[in-house]
Amino acid sequence: MLKAINLECTRGKRRLFHGLSFELEAGASVFVQGQNGSGKTSLLRILAGLSPPCTGTVCWKGNPIQKLEHEWRRDLFYYGHLVGLKDDLTATENLVYAAALTNEPVSHAAVVEALHQSGLQGREHLPVRALSQGQKRRASLARLLLHRRPLWILDEPLTTLDDKATQWVIRMISDHLREGGIAVWTSHLDMTLSATTRTLRIGL
Rounded distance between C-alpha atoms, residue 122 and residue 120, angstroms = 6
Range of the domain at 60: 2-201
9 within 8 A of 53, measured Cβ to Cβ: yes
Contact (CB, 8 A) for 185 and 34: no
Q: Give the per-residue pLDDT at 131.
A: 95
The pLDDT score that the predictor gives to residue 199 is 87
According to DSSP, the residues that pair with 186 across neighbouring strands are: 32, 155
CATH code of the domain covering residue 162: 3.40.50.300
- Domain count across the chain: 1
pTM recorded for the entire structure: 0.91
The tens place of each residue's pLDDT in the chain, 204 residues long, gives 899 999 999 888 888 889 999 999 999 999 998 888 888 999 999 999 999 999 999 999 999 998 988 888 889 999 988 888 999 999 999 999 988 888 888 899 999 999 999 999 999 999 999 999 999 999 999 999 998 899 999 999 998 999 999 999 999 999 999 999 999 999 877 666 666 788 888 875
Measured distance CA(158)–CA(100) in Å, rounded: 26
Measured distance CA(68)–CA(64) in Å, rounded: 7
Q: Are 103 and 52 in contact (CB under 8 A)?
A: no
